[in-house]
Structures are given as C-alpha cells and as structure tokens.
Amino acid sequence: MKKLLTTLMVLAAFFSGATAFAQEQEQEQEPMQVKPYKVYCEIIATPKFFSNKTTVELDFGQYSGFWTADRQLVDEEGNTISFNSALDAANYMARRGWDLEEVFVVQEMSKGDSGTARYHWVLSKLVTDDSQITEGLRTKGMK
C-alpha cells in the first residue's frame, strides 16, 4: 500500500512539473504584445500672403533647425505639398491615421500691423513603436 501511494505521489509530482514546463514553453513562444500608446503632432498653418493656399508645418517634437521650412510636408520628390487650408492638411493627416485633439489660433503681432493668424491643430495617433509616428509622412528636414 505504501509503495502504491509513493508511486502515485511521484507520478503526480512528475505530471504537474511536466504541465508547468509545457505552459512555460507556450508562454515563451507567444510574441510579446506591446501596448499601444498615444503620440502627438501639431499642424501649424499660416495663410500664404496674396494667395488662397496655406503654408503647413508639422511638429512631432523633433529637432528642427533655425529654418521652420524644415518642418514643411513634401512629396516623394521633395516638393513642398501645398494645401488649400488647415482643414485640407488635417484631412491629409486623418487619412494617415491621425485624430484631431484640439485647435487654437495664435495672432502674431508685428509693429504697425494687425498681425498674422497662425492656426494650430493638435493631432494624436496610437502607435506601438516610435517609427510609426512619421509613417507615410515626409518633411524637408527628414533625411
């Protein structure tokens, strides 16, 4: 009777260890799931002087040189993309997965004039890797 109980206990310990090992192996084979996180972008739109078009700059929080033209959107050939309005630019970004968070206007005053309105559109997007932030987008300053 003692031999039977001892044998059953040894078998039970063996099978529980084998089950734990199998579960551990399954967990190691599953890829790590990265939790998506929100990133932000700002569209800064300025109406062009004597034109019905709008100059658009993108700010991803990236380093930008002295010239803000480094942040202008360009196509595959490096030509500046022209937009009809800030809303046109927001729609362009929406097609690339960006969502509108907030809009505000800053009136930049110069001595002796009524100032220039600059429209700021704050957008967000869920990503799992920082390389996805500028996916499908290119600015003059990007290498």
For 104-126, the pLDDT digits (tens) are 998 877 766 677 788 899 999 99
pLDDT of residue 32: 74
Assess whether 55 and 111 both reside in one domain: yes
| Residues belonging to the chain | 143
Signed CA dihedral, 14, 20, 26, 28: sign only:
negative
* Same domain membership, residue 64 and residue 4: no
Task: Looking at the structure, tell me whether residues 64 and 101 fall in a common domain.
Answer: yes
Instruction: Work out the average pLDDT over 19-46.
Output: 75
CA distances from 97 to 91, 102, 131 (A): 10, 16, 14
Q: 117 and 63, same structural domain?
A: yes
Distance, CA of 25 to CA of 127 (rounded, Å): 29
Q: Which band of pLDDT confidence, cut at 50, 70 and 90, is reported for residue 50? A: confident
pLDDT band, very low/low/confident/very high, at 40 (cuts 50, 70, 90): very high
Whether residue 113 is found in the same domain as residue 69: yes
pLDDT at position 103, please?
94
pTM: 0.68
In the chain, helix, strand, coil percent, each to 5?
30, 30, 40
Q: Are residues 91 and 65 in the same domain?
A: yes
